[in-house]
Structure 1
Amino acid sequence: MTDDPNLHVGARLGSLVVDAVGYSPLGLLKGGVDLITDYLAQLNKRRYEEFVRAALEGNVFPENAEALTAADFVAMLRACLSDVEDEKATLYGRLAKSIATNLVPPQLKYPMMTALGGITLAQAEKLRRAYIARNHTLIPKQGSGRKDPSDFLPPEGLVNSWDIDKLAGLSLIKERKPTELGQRLVTASFAPEQLTPDAIGERVWRSEGTLPMISYEMSDAGVVALSNAVNLEARNVGLKVGPLAAPQDTRHAQMLLLGALPCFVVIVTPSSDHLIKHKALFQPALDRKALPVLVMMEGASPSIADFFPSAQVIEGLGTPAEVARRVVSVVRGVLGHSPAQPLEPLTSEPPMFRDDQDDVPAGAT
């Protein structure tokens, strides 16, 4: 092999940087047929090694894989070696293992092999993220809802539009959501640890219920600041917080407290006349053993706690962020969350696929 510096890892030729195998485009051109042949051999060897590593991951590849014939294996390996993206070798290997271990229904074997060969790594990644959003209640940037799979399949832009058209054309998505075929391709081609919210830097809501925040002094700057701080602190640990409210009648109180978390926060200010006037509205929640968390702002009368005998009282001294941390710590204690314990996804296993059979390509049933 020549000593031309263009052929070595790290060599630069203008804006061209050599790839991981050790050659630059200009170096290949100058090296001639023998060098290109050597390059392709190394590339195929590396892809084959990655394919095999992924296929044998976990030592579960059966000795007699009836679901994956030798012809199927060779076809998949050929598709892997001819793919324009080197990095997809792992996906091909995992798909081969999933087929061999009967994790792929026989009627979907060829549609999934074809689909994997027909998408780019970036498209597979978008499909993976949409799958995670479909199967976990991911926390959105704002509000107490959840991220939708379509959030990971944006239609804007030339590349995004092309990705969506490609995925939809292979029946992997429908209306910017993964189909059954799309979901099965993801679980067959990615490792389980790659299909969690943490794997894509997302967090999930810890609980389905909402923490009610109550104050009858909603225009008080200190109340608003504390409410915002509690909302932020709770969100950071996966707890939903409702908007600051001042229930005036039974119907409003029921809407606020029914279906909520088994506790509610009441911010008590020196002006507590309205709270005392409406204290009876909270009795149904107290009868259900919901825990009131009273935050006593500076100057608030301690006697207010007498109206909520089971209440957990928190002094509202310090910055809003400091008080908010104490409030959320109490709420997590009520819910059985340890403050030092890292949050886990709502489900450890992805739920069963729920798409209609119509999502599977014709002829694949």
Structure 2
Amino acid sequence: MKKGVKIALVLVVLAVAVVGYFSYRAAIGRKNLQLDVKTAKVTVGDVEAYLSVSATIESQKKKDYYAPQAKVKRVYVKVGDRVKKGDVLVTFETQDYSSQIEQAQIQYENAVLQRDELYAQKKDIEDKIKELDAQISSLEKSNNQDAAKLESLKQQRDNIQPVSIARIKQAENSVKLAKLTLDNAKKAAAQAQDKITADFSGVVTAVNVVEGAMANSMQPAVTVMDLSNLKAVAKLGRFDAAKVSLGQKVILRNGKKSYKGEVSFIEPVASTTMTASGQESTVGVEIKILDKNPDLKVGFDVDADILIGSKTGVVKVPVEAIRQEKDKTSVFVVEQGKAKQKEVQTGLWSDDEVEITSGLTAGETVILNPGLKVTDGAPVRLPFAGGLGRRMQ
């Protein structure tokens, strides 16, 4: 073979090698430019939105029984005792009001008698004066006047002392005062509390009286709760309170255990409470616990998830797929190995899923947690077999 032919063959081989090398490098470069992404399928299903708050367990029926200003005679219960409606809890030493009422009754009757006697005396005197005035007038008109008799009648008339208005007023006031004394005695007797009885069946949770000591009327003597019917009470700020309504379903969680409930009462007005950050206006919300005999104690703090919205049979994606910008909400879908940005409209949001009302269809593949490197048209690579990424349940 001629030397020139050999050189030509060598050059051809080198050219092929160079082209192959650079083609390989380009392929590697294109592969390295692809972004590894995690994905999920757009699905159709249900979306539920919950408001998570903290709540405290309380009894649905509780009563604080207050004692009178009296000496405690006997305490029949202790903390933890179960009582039934009508059971005597505490008795007190009270004075006998019967003698006071009897004495006040006698004083009242005597005052009435004296007043009535004064009324009768006043009437008798007025009648006597009228009679004498008539006789005097008749004699003065007569032609045959008996001067001595006329003078005697006038003398009698002048000697009569009428009952004064002051005496009448005093007698009437005496009756009023005696009646007030009698009424007060009866009222004191009616209000005299010689015992405390239970109004309903429950458990004694506090006893603040001691036998032989004076009861303190400023604090409850005994507290009784119905521990078979419990509720959870939460305090909500104005934004959260606006999302809650009567009848909403609630899931209460205490550790690994959960209980069903529903919103049963919402306070009509807000109250101001002190927090670490200052004053805060809150609205109390009561949650009725529907489960029988829940393993909960009054005073426990529990987590309450209030169902504030639900949708069935809607298009949905994971929350991680959503990119929110100032003027739009969008997702990135994978089409032919590239990221494509799509603007979407959202509906109900839960903690991990979002309802899509427009912009996507079921079966599309969305990119999760798209960082700033993911742009419209960027090449992407699915690291999972089949290129479908994870499927949202």
TM-score, normalised by the number of residues in structure 2: 0.16
TM-score, normalised by the number of residues in structure 1: 0.17
Tell me which structure has the larger Cα radius of gyration: 2
Higher helix share: 1
- Tell me: higher relative CO, structure 1 or 2? Use CA pairs within 8 A at least 6 residues apart: 2
